[in-house]
């Protein structure tokens, strides 16, 4: 299917004192509208005469809530009764989903972002079989509920990946084969570059996806994988980084590319406000510098998913330190592994980080 043009948005500016048509979803000056948002819940618009359109212009990052605990697996995977896909609604148009840890130990995160004319699914998880990992059924249910709330019959879906090489992030894509009103970014590197219009000057290039007044920037970030890309949502100001930067063991595939990509994100952060860096996994514990081992399907003491934007600069500093060396480097919020096995350990503990014995999960 032909790809519709990706256009640069025109962001509306807040005009103090404007009322009525200037704020179709409520005035930001009123106390019941959270700072930084132009829209309120569509569910309260009971007298709508047609499909509801939201104003995604923001005076700040769109408000939302991540104050919850992710499901964390079980000692005996067969006895786990958590949902196969955990769905958390950050705000009305932003959903964060996690694969059940007892279905796949990496428990990857996927992101569903709605705009006025399209919805974007970023990554599709680590399991292909829908009976174990019902990603499509879950996404379809969220979309159906959103459309009902907005007075819509349907909305086109775009599916993209932070890496077509990372089997923990793209295995569920086959569930969407043949789905109506759906465009899927191809997994092979060359085709993916063309899809995102990144082929002209890869990796020093960016493009945009227009979801209908909600713009998502596409940034080339190889380093852990040859085809790595990150996504910046201008509405929430989330920077979605997949395997490039997340609270866990980061396996560097090409250290020169990795440093260059982090440097690219550091410059991006200077020019574009970032609220949170949101990766594809969580492997770190809440104890600084401690991670769970591979294949663990019970992680009750996880660190939170979201990362402070300053961690981009920290990761860049230490990525330069490991460049050219086969080594493990531990930081409080992530661990860099360059040229070594994912199971490699080190006796070198970083200065300034408390070496705390984490609690046992039993």
1 compared with 125, residue with greater pLDDT: 125
Assess if residue 357 is contained within a domain.
Answer: no
Could you tell me the CA-to-CA distances from 88 to 44, 137, 163 in Å, in that order? Answer: 21, 16, 23
Q: Count CB-CB contacts under 10 A for residue 49.
A: 7
Assess if residue 330 is contained within a domain.
Answer: yes
Asked whether the bond before 70 is cis by omega within 30 degrees of 0, the reply is no
Assess if residue 274 is contained within a domain.
Answer: yes
The per-residue pLDDT for 47 is 54
Q: Residue 146 pLDDT more than 80?
A: yes
Confidence of residue 139 (pLDDT cuts 50, 70, 90): very high
Percent of the chain with pLDDT over 70: 86
Assess if residue 57 is contained within a domain.
Answer: no
- CB contact at 8 A, 122 and 143: no
> Which residues make Cβ contacts (< 8 Å) with residue 193, sequence separation at least 6?
199, 202
> What number is the average pLDDT over the span 135-141?
98
Domain residue limits at 154: 77-338
Mean of pLDDT over the chain = 88
CATH code of residue 239: 3.60.15.10
Assess if residue 171 is contained within a domain.
Answer: yes
Q: What is the pLDDT of residues 150-195, one digit of tens each?
A: 889 999 999 999 999 999 999 999 999 999 999 999 999 999 999 9
Assess if residue 235 is contained within a domain.
Answer: yes
Q: Residue 20 pLDDT more than 70?
A: no
- The terminus-to-terminus CA distance of the chain in angstroms comes to 52
Assess if residue 296 is contained within a domain.
Answer: yes
Alpha carbons 62 and 29: distance in angstroms, whole number: 15
pTM confidence score: 0.88
Q: What is the pLDDT of residues 292-336, one digit of tens each?
A: 999 999 999 999 999 999 999 999 999 999 999 999 999 999 999
Number of domains in the chain: 1
> Which residues make Cβ contacts (< 8 Å) with residue 325, sequence separation at least 6?
338, 339
Confidence of residue 57 (pLDDT cuts 50, 70, 90): confident
Assess if residue 213 is contained within a domain.
Answer: yes
- CB contact at 8 A, 93 and 155: no
Residues forming a β-bridge with 43:
none
């Amino acid at each position: 299917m032909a790809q519709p043009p990706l256009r640069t948005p025109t962001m509306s500016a807040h005009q103090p004192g404007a009322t009525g048509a200037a704020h179709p979803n409520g005035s930001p000056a009123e106390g019941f509208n959270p700072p930084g948002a132009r829209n309120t819940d569509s569910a309260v618009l009971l007298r709508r005469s047609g499909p509801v359109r939201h104003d995604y212009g923001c005076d700040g990052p769109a408000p939302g809530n991540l104050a919850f605990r992710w499901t964390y697996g079980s000692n005996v995977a067969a006895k786990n009764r958590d949902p196969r896909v955990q769905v958390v609604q950050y705000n009305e148009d932003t959903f964060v989903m996690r694969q059940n840890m007892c279905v796949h130990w990496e428990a990857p995160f996927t992101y569903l972002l709605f705009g006025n004319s399209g919805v974007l699914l970023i990554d599709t998880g680590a399991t292909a079989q829908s009976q174990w990992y019902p990603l499509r059924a879950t996404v379809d249910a969220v979309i159906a509920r959103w459309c009902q709330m907005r007075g819509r019959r349907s909305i086109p879906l775009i599916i993209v990946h932070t890496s077509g090489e990372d089997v923990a992030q793209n295995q569920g894509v086959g569930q969407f084969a043949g789905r109506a009103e759906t465009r899927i970014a191809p997994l092979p590197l060359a085709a993916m570059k063309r899809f995102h219009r990144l082929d002209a000057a890869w990796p020093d290039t960016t493009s945009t996806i227009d979801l209908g007044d909600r713009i998502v920037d596409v940034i080339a970030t190889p380093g852990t994988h040859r085809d790595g890309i990150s996504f910046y949502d201008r509405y929430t100001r989330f920077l979605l980084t997949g395997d490039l930067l997340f609270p866990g063991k980061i396996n560097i595939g090409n250290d020169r590319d990795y440093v260059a990509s982090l440097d690219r994100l550091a410059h991006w952060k200077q020019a574009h406000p970032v609220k949170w860096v949101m990766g594809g996994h969580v492997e770190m514990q809440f104890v600084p510098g401690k991670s769970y081992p591979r294949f663990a399907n019970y992680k009750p003491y996880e660190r939170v998913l979201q990362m402070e934007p300053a961690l981009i600069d920290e990761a860049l500093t230490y990525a330069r330190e490991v460049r050219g060396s086969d080594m493990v480097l531990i930081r409080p919020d992530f661990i860099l592994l360059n040229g070594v096995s994912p199971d490699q350990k080190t006796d070198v503990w970083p200065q300034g980080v408390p070496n705390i014995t984490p609690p046992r999960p039993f």
